[in-house]
Amino acid sequence: MDTILILLFFLLGLIFGSFFNVVGMRVPQRQPFTNDRSMCPQCTHQLKWYELIPVLSYILQHGKCRNCRENISLLYPSTELITGVLFAFCYIKNGLTPELATALLLMSLLVIILVSDIRYMLIPNKILLFFLPLFIIMRVIQPFEPWWSSITGGLAGVLILAAIILISRGGMGAGDMKLFGLLGIVLGLEKIFVVFFLSCVIGAVIGSGLLIFKVIDRKQPVPFGPHIVAAAVITYFNGDVLLNWYFNGLM
Ligand SMILES: [Zn+2]
């Protein structure tokens, strides 16, 4: 039974991932994402249902548009696959509890931001504002112990990033700051510090990796969002382990 549900959440994630691709691509460009049909960005060929199957269509078409043979960005199937895996892990961690809804919402936000930040170096306000009330409602229904950890977490998230933005002048923007505020509400006071620490470590490792292998040069800006997303995912699923490590290491 459990295996079936895990698989079900994986498949649900694939489908939602496909939708998050559209949201992450269109919302920053102020395009509607609800009424018009999906099409190839190169030749505007309208996609048939069998060209819209998450991951599978990409594999069957060898990563090319059926009409113009242009390469389809690897970002699309990657997003679908990532969402599938994350949704499955949300169920494995939480079972069928109210916290599962929070987890799924959090992963949805993170995937959409991943898409739009990689594509446009932008974290749209519209997306953040959509999730803010949902996260507040979920943390009222499922409060932390102590309950004010959400409020202080949100404030701490904003303040840490505001300080970094003032000190560093560039690198991180207002979008990153607002995202940290949201993450603080969902993850609480202690874990927002874990997210911050991890996103700096991930950013440093990936940033220097990209420089060493000359994928980018020193002047090229790198979106910081994906590092925050990775840090938030690790913290959500393993935050307690990391906190225990840290505190036991101090003793
Ligand atoms: Zn095409």
CA neighbor of 104 nearest in space, from 24, 216, 224, 17 = 17
Rounding to the nearest 10 degrees, give the CA dihedral for residues 89, 147, 149, 245: -50
Determine the residue type at 197. F
Do residues 86 and 13 lie in contact, with contact meaning Cβ atoms separated by under 8 Å?
A: yes
Q: Which of 116-130, 203-217, 223-237 has the lowest mean pLDDT?
A: 203-217
Supply the pTM of this predicted model: 0.91
Cα 152 to ligand 1 centroid, rounded to whole Å: 49
Of 224 and 112, the structure prediction assigns the larger pLDDT to 112
The 10 Å CB-count burial string (b at 16+, else e) for 164-180 is: bbeeeeeebbebbbbbb
Confidence of residue 165 (pLDDT cuts 50, 70, 90): confident
Question: 140 by DSSP, 3-state: which?
Answer: helix
Cα 29 to ligand 1 centroid, rounded to whole Å: 20
Cα angle for residues 106, 50, 120 (degrees, 5° grid) = 40
Residue 1: per-residue pLDDT: 61
Cα 44 to ligand 1 centroid, rounded to whole Å: 6
- Token duo for residue 221: 């800006």
Give the chain's radius of gyration (CA, Å).
Answer: 19
pLDDT in tens, 72-129: 889 999 999 999 999 999 999 999 999 999 999 999 999 999 999 998 888 999 999 9
